[in-house]
Structure 1
Amino acid sequence: MNTLKNRYLSLDVFRGMDVALMIIVNSPGNGDTSFGILKHAVWNGFTLTDLVFPTFLFVVGNAMSFSMKKYQTLGNAAFLKKIFKRFAIIFLLGFLMYWFPFFEDGHLKPISETRIFGVLQRIALCYLIAAVLIHYFKTRTVVIFSIASLIIYNVILVVFGDLTLTGNAVLKLDKLLIGPSHMYHGNGGVAFDPEGLLSTLPAVVNVIAGYLTGKFIQNKGQHFETVAKLLMIAALLIVAGFAWHQIMPFNKKLWSSSFVLLTCGIDLVIIAILMYLLDMSKPGKWTYFFEVFGRNTLFIYLLSELFIISLAEIKTTGTTAYNWIADNIFISIAGNYFGSLLFALWIMLTCWLVGYIMDKKGIYIKV
């Protein structure tokens, strides 16, 4: 049995692969001419891109399987202070990112029209809830909570609304609590937040699944039996997900219960394969590319978002720097689809270069 260190290579690579893909799908040169695999499902359905965010939550939970050990030695007051501080910082960073660049036409952009929930905010909420559950309750109770959450969420969606963009329970609760002006309007102008408050409940399960996977690997060791068991559990989750899909379709925007089972199952397959290739075998030098992303994950993700927003805010000859670079450099050379992909790769590689310099200088920004 291999003795696990504080980290294992497969986790850093897995997280790095996810961040790289996240940047690519978030920065298409022309969204209309992006390859279908790099687009979210319009509503019901599932694409590779829909796997990106739940995977990020899964690796957050995976990393927690190491960090929560340290928290066990803390008193309750110190533990709560630590996790609430981390929650507050990540949530605030997400809010400020949506408020950025803060000024418009020489005036401060109104907070009354700034989106409240979002990607980092969901990560913060899921981390907080999962950390409290894991710290205060036994594993059996946490598993029961996860199953109950998926069932209860399914019931809430059916009883308190329908499964359409404009009539679902997630939208109704967000409208009631925060109002349309604080919500995402990227669905044809319709106010609906895919990271809404209610749909955070099933998303917590993705974090818990990542945590339980990390604990399982640490307890059982890195060998063929562990890989086989992970793959068997993955198969059960994926089959269960497709069965649930018959009554509650895969839907990333609603974060449906079937979507949770499917994404957790796929993530288990990936982590099992990576563990075999990287932690149980001799990995090649290719892993370093993704390790760079995995070592400064939050910073590089924020950098990519601010880079994209900044390019979109710079006006030039009737367009933006974002569109001008995409159209006149990448799309004009490689065509619509490949040009859009090359533009996204340029954004991703630029962020990687910053991460590479930070890694070589030993700079690691943690929250």
Structure 2
Amino acid sequence: MNQRYYSLDVFRGATVCLMILVNNPGTWAHIYGPLKHAPWHGCTPTDLVFPFFLFAVGNALAFVMPRLEGISKQQAAGKIVKRGTLIFLIGLLLNWFPFVKWEDDSLIMKSFSNLRILGVLQRIGIAYLFAALSVYFLKGRKAFYLATLLLLGYWVITAFCGVPDATGFIDPYSLEGFWGTHLDRALLGSDHLYKGEGVPFDPEGLASTIPAIAQVIFGYMVGSYIQQKGKSDAMVANLFVAGMIMLLAGMAWGLEFPINKKIWTSSYVLYTTGLATLILATMIQLIEFRGLKGPLTRFFDVFGKNPLFIFVMSALIPKSLALIRIPHGLNEQGKMTYTSPLGWFYETVCAPVSAKPENGSLLYALIFIGFMWSLAWYMDHRKWYVKV
């Protein structure tokens, strides 16, 4: 039964919108707490956004899989590998873009020697590739068993392969004790890793992508169940039960294997998948059964029509405008400093609106979302849909 679910489009669009919101504050120095990631263990609303998107990727896969079943295995596998690889490469190029940077008063080429290899799109590409191949060749229950095995195996490896610190103490769930940190440094090199934690460590690392694959598979299982059962009260009720079970299981597991986005723990997968399932079930109940559609659902739906393209553009536009330099006064050494057009907009228009700097930073993010929505709306109005 292949019914159209508007609520899935709204869920996906809302997730993309929130991704843009948390990635584009006016200034990283002033952000409200819920719009920050947890420092290490724990989960803030911002920590829900990326796993929700992977969950949505799995949902969408459930509606694409029947088309892959109609072609040969070689063709289907080729399409999956091609799409996963393309998403990965787009992410890699996005890290490198705009390929040049200002050094003193000259534009020079950015070196590949310190290019970050991994990232959000790269994780999406890898997780999609392996999850799609798994559900295509293993089918229903076997794919679920594989996802469960991935989560359990990841827990065991993480718990028993911790790296000791200088004193010999081992905390396998710490940044330096986590085995994935050292795997990434060994395979990719420290120069190619994210440095946001103050040391070479990638929150989208190779090891922590293993449970992310399971997250896409679980999203597929939920999407497949919705598709098979059709629009019924029993389907929604069962989604609520499944979501609550996963949520509670994730919280319980978190007592031993802490909920942590940056190393994407197995408890984090269950916890966020449970929340995503509950929210999606609520949306289906409200939108599909009670017909609660309005400006808010239409706002998010537009983002869901070109999700990956809009997300990429939300990074490309600031990166491109950053090459335009606007004089910003002299520093203490008497040297001219510069800002970008978006930096000028924030400082001139957004920051002065409130004495509390978090308000100006949030205002900038909301205005930027409005601009991206206008682009998404125009593309939808013209029926321009970019498929990867």
Q: In which range does the TM-score fall when normalised by the shorter chain?
A: over 0.9
Aligned pair partner of 1:285 in 272, 280, 294: 294
Aligned amino acid, residue 343 of structure 2: N
Instruction: Tell me what 1:16 maps to.
Output: 13
Instruction: Work out which of the residue numbers 338, 352, 364 in structure 1 matches 2:373.
Output: 352
- The one of 330, 335, 354 equivalent to 2:350 is 330
- Pairing of 1:1-367 with structure 2 (within 5 A): 4-5=2-3, 7-104=4-101, 105-161=106-162, 162-187=172-197, 189-286=198-295, 287-316=297-326, 317=328, 318-321=337-340, 322-334=342-354, 335-367=356-388
More divergent stretch after superposition (319-328 vs 336-345): 319-328
Q: Distance in 2 between matches of 1:172 and 1:265?
A: 30
d(CA) in 2 for partners of 1:323, 1:350: 16
Supply the AA of the counterpart residue of 1:194: P
Which AA in structure 2 matches 1:305? A
In 1, distance between residues paired with 2:353 and 2:123?
38
Q: C-alpha distance in 1, partners of 2:82/2:228? A: 29
Q: Distance in 1 between matches of 2:245 and 2:322?
A: 44
| Runs (5+) with no aligned partner, structure 1 | none
Deviations 1:162-191 (A, max 9, x none): 22122311111101111011111111x311
Greater radius of gyration (CA) = 2
Q: How many residues align?
A: 363
Separation (CA, whole Å) in 2 of partners of 1:70 and 1:151: 32
Match for 1:138: what amino acid? K
- Structure 1, residues 128-163: CA drift from partner, whole Å, max 9, x if none? 101111111132211111111111111111222222
- In 1, are the aligned partners of 2:63 and 2:227 still within 8 Å (CA)? no
Work out the CA distance in 1 between the residues paired with 2:345 and 2:107.
26
SS at structure 2 position matched to 1:32: coil
1:190-216 Cα offsets, whole Å, 9 max, x none, are 111000011111001111111111111
Aligned-pair distance for 1:80?
Answer: 1.6
**CA contact under 8 A between 1:313 and 1:320: conserved in structure 2?**
no
CA deviation after TM superposition for structure 1 residue 310, in Å: 2.8
Which 10-residue stretch deviates more, 26-35 or 114-123? Answer: 26-35
What percentage of residue pairs aligned between the two structures are identical?
43
- Preserved contact between residue 311 and residue 320 of structure 1 (Cα < 8 Å): no
Deviation at 1:4?
4.4
> Normalising by structure 1, what TM-score?
0.96
* 1:106 aligned counterpart, secondary structure: strand
Q: Is the 8 A contact 2:127 2:216 kept in 1?
A: yes
Conserved? CA contact 2:144–2:221, under 8 Å: no
Q: Which amino acid aligns with 1:100?
A: F
- Identify which of structures 1 and 2 has the higher relative contact order when contacts are C-alpha pairs closer than 8 Å and 6+ apart: 1
* Secondary structure in structure 1 of the residue aligned to 2:29: helix
Quote the offset at 1:315 in angstroms.
Answer: 2.6
Give the distance between the partners of 2:153 and 2:259, measured in 1 at CA: 16
Which 4+ residue blocks in structure 1 deviate beyond 6 angstroms? none
Q: Please state how far the C-alpha of 1:50 moved relative to its aligned partner.
A: 0.2
Greater CA drift, 311-320 or 343-352: 311-320
Scaled by the length of structure 2, the TM-score of the pair is 0.91
Change (3 A) 1:258 1:294: same
For 2:46 and 2:352, locate their aligned partners in 1 and report how far apart those are by CA, in whole Å.
25
C-alpha contact (below 8 Å) 2:257/2:265 kept by paired residues: yes
TM-superposed CA distance for 1:8, in Å, is 1.3
